[in-house]
Amino acid sequence: MASQPAPLARALGIARSLVIYHAIPGRHRRMARFYAQFLGSGDLGFDVGAHVGSRVRSWRRLDARVIAVEPQSDCLRLLRLLFGRDDKVEIVSAAVGAEAGTATLAVSSRTPTVSSVSPQWIRKVAADRRFARVRWDVGVPVPVTTLDALIDRYGQPAFCKIDVEGSEDAVLAGLSQPLAALSFEYLPAAHDDALKALARLRLLGDYSYNYSPIETMRLASDRWLDDTGLLRLLDKVRVSGRSGDVYARLVR
């Protein structure tokens, strides 16, 4: 991989993300209604893998405080442009993992949503036809922090979104206490990664689960499930090949 992407590829990649995540009418209102079940006024939300800030924007509609964590330089510039003057948004330039340090971020300039610090995940999904046109063309060093370190600095979040392209298990490995609610990305091509993340959650506490197909802002099940029920649901999702997010909330 090169150390610098072509400027045009970078611009096209960010423009594509802006259209997908900010230009669809009504999207942020729907997103805010969905996340209102997890966040309210004054609550703290961690957006791990903030990308271009669609969750930040919707959570601010709820008057939540947001810690937006993102390692990609172009995304960070955009986050600062959009939210840099908002005193209820803190932008953290870092990846999140099992321990603090540094990592190499493999950037896909044209599709920055799939940039990743996990070479194992990249090898896994690269074999899937849905990723046939994706190229990880840039490798850049980035700092790595942990969820425990973020909690020590900012407090425990009411909700934590984890969207880190294959590093979900590593992110949860850097957490030593249960959170009230969280989500992590599910990709059928990387089904085993979801199983590892669920195993981490079992060690942290007693959770119930649900699933939302990608960007629908709707829960797939009309009731919250135990881990066995979630695995049955994911087996059905896996056949369809459609990605989404697993939601977990701590059983009181």
Tell me the CA distances in angstroms from 80 to 12, 28, 72, 77, 83, one per residue in order: 19, 19, 12, 5, 5
Residue 95: φ, ψ to 5°: -90, 170
Cα angle, residue 137 at apex, residues 133 and 141 outer, rounded to 5°:
140
Measure CA of the first residue to CA of the last residue in the chain; give whole Å.
47
**201, 172 in Cβ contact below 8 A?**
yes
Closest CA to 111 of 13, 24, 250: 13
| CA distance linking residue 182 with residue 56, whole number of Å | 15
At 157-173, the pLDDT tens digits run 999 999 999 899 999 99
What is the token pair recorded at 189? 């091509």
pLDDT given for residue 222 in this prediction? 95
Using the 8-state DSSP alphabet, how is residue 190 labeled?
G
Residue 45 has pLDDT above 80, yes or no: yes
**159, 42 in Cβ contact below 8 A?**
no
Least confident piece of the model among 11-20, 34-43, 120-129, 219-228: 11-20
Residue 61 has pLDDT above 90, yes or no: yes
> Within 142-226, where are the H helices?
147-154, 168-173, 191-204
Q: Where are the domains of the chain?
A: 7-250
Tell me the CA distances in angstroms from 52 to 33, 36, 42, 151, one per residue in order: 20, 21, 22, 22
CATH among 3.40.50.300, 3.30.360.10, 3.40.50.150, 3.50.30.50 for 7-250 = 3.40.50.150
Ordered DSSP codes for 122-154: HHHHHTSGGGTT----EEEEEEEE-HHHHHHHH
